[in-house]
Amino acid sequence: MEFILTIDLNKLTGDPHHEVSRILRYWAGTIQPSDLEPGSSMNIYDPHFHRVGRWTVGDTPPMVEPAGPELMVSERAAPPGSPTVTEDAEDSPGAR
């Protein structure tokens, strides 16, 4: 299973660093009584009661094992705009 917490930074009012920290502190303290079974979810609100995100529990997709020594970058876990090209250790800039 996986626990996914998504926050739409564009919907936050005020300093995003402060708001994300506040959300993480709040949910760290309230997750204990929550049902952490696949399909469980809950909306996340800012201090003004506007929906800014959601947490969900779902089935973890199977991991794909690399076929060789190359480093694989998960497209699901990679942040937007991250490169998804793999490079062999021999081709990396510091290998020569």
* Chain segment 47-64, per-residue pLDDT in tens: 889 999 999 998 877 666
- Please determine, for residue 43, whether its predicted confidence score (pLDDT) is greater than 90: yes
Measured distance CA(52)–CA(41) in Å, rounded: 14
Amino acid at 70: E
What pLDDT, on the 0 to 100 scale, is given for residue 29?
81
- Do the bridges between strand 51-58 and strand 2-7 make them parallel or antiparallel, or are there none, so unpaired? antiparallel
Q: How confident is the model at residue 70 (pLDDT cuts 50, 70, 90)?
A: low
Tokens representing residue 5 in the block: 């917490």
* Residue pair 55/28 in contact by the 8 Å Cβ criterion: no
Amino acid at 85: V
Measured distance CA(33)–CA(15) in Å, rounded: 29
